[in-house]
Chain A
Amino acid sequence: MRGVRVNYLVTGLNLDRFINYLKNHDIKLYNVKKLDYKRMIIGVNFADSKNFFAIADKMCYNVKKVSLGGWGYPFYRLLCSCGMVIGALCFCVLSYLLSDLVFALEFSGSGSIYKNQVIEFLEERGVKQYSRFSDINLKTLEDSVLAANDRLSFVGIERRGNRLEVELVLSSEKVQTLDGNVYALYSNVSGVVESVKVYRGTAVVKVGDKVNKGDLLVDGYVTLKENTVKINVLCAVSLIVEDTLEYYSNKDGEEEKAELFAQMQVEDSQILSSNTIKIPKDNGYLYIVNVKYRCTLYAG
């Protein structure tokens, strides 16, 4: 080990002879200090320690290691405790790697009753136990959870150590109730049928059909053994609607405002995509927003 110096306490008579003997055997000596006529402190290189001991033993001197020094001493200590160094390095690397993992999802707030739906939603977006924090955009996730659940008025997602804390607050709006006296479901928009769920009644349209405003979607009858019976319906039909909305402003660069305006127009529906085209008109700008959204119609 280069750069490491070992200081020994040598005890014996005729120490000058010992010093000369060491020098003659090409052992470099450092900080030779005589304490009294038969004791001295002598420093030798770590690499020469073996020879030094052999010579001291041969010449019947008592040698005791006192201390270690030199510029290489810190490295020597590290090498001696390499297990600890490797352990510390492993700990640092593991801590760094594990700090990016989600260990648990915790829910709080009045909206926790929708915990299972939110967990399912998060899993669809790749947010689950042992997923990486670096892959999650918390702000976007909050917005998408809120948009996906009408019953929630606030969603807060934040990181606490290795946990993802989700705060859900229920909406104070009253739940719409079904009155049970509806005998048909008509479309109030034009679009393409995305899904049809009929619990009672008969579906008149199927997935992929194009429907216009006012078209019958689910009819209130059922055929039982060649008899057709009129019944009230219980169903949900979702439509994909493409619409164009216009927004006029004197100012330039108000695309975001125009999209917000479009969102307000489609109200509770879930916007799937939108793009805005700006056309100069009458000293101002006409923003044409092409919006695609999901509209779910219920009857029952």
Chain B
Amino acid sequence: MGFIESIKDCFGEWEIPKEPIFRAVLFGESAGYFENVKSILNYSENEIVLSIKKGGLKISGEGLYIKKYCMGDIVICGKILKVERV
């Protein structure tokens, strides 16, 4: 049984939707990759607010900038200190 399958087995199929609202992968403090982003609500060096399907996602840090943004995927670089749902 794979890792994802074992998680599904623990939480039950209904807990993990086939298409998640969003997916976030952080590479330490230096970068973050976010999927299913609808738009950018606010963008500054210290804070980026992304709009996702249900609500938003606030990324706080220092010297933040968008490395790549296309097709609902975004890569944010800089010192990421906090990611929170809003």
Q: Is the CB of B43 within 8 A of A16?
A: yes
Mark contacts of A130-157 with chain B using CB atoms, 8 A cut-off: 1 yes-contact digit, 0 otherwise.
0000000000000000000000000000
B residues less than 8 Å from A53 (CB atoms): none
Q: Contacts A23-B70, A26-B71, A28-B70 known; A33 to B65 CB distance under 8 Å?
A: yes
What is the bound-complex CA distance between A34 and B64, given in angstroms?
9
A interface, over-half SS = mixed
B41 within 8 A of A: yes
B-contacting residues, A32-57, CB 8 Å:
32-34
B67 within 8 A of A: yes
What is the bound-complex CA distance between A23 and B51, given in angstroms?
13
Pick the contact of B40 from A16, A28, A31 — CB < 8 Å?
A16
B68 within 8 A of A: yes
A residues less than 8 Å from B69 (CB atoms): 19, 23, 28-30, 32
A20 within 8 A of B: yes
B6 within 8 A of A: no
Chain B residue at minimum C-beta to C-beta distance from A20: B39
Q: Is the CB of A30 within 8 A of B43?
A: no
Measured CB to CB, the residues of A under 8 A from B are 15-16, 19-20, 23-24, 26-34
Other than the known A15-B43, A23-B70, A33-B66, what 20 A-B pairs have Cβ atoms closer than 8 Å?
A16-B40, A16-B41, A16-B43, A19-B43, A19-B66, A19-B69, A23-B72, A28-B69, A28-B71, A29-B66, A29-B68, A29-B69, A29-B70, A30-B69, A31-B65, A31-B66, A31-B67, A32-B65, A33-B65, A34-B45
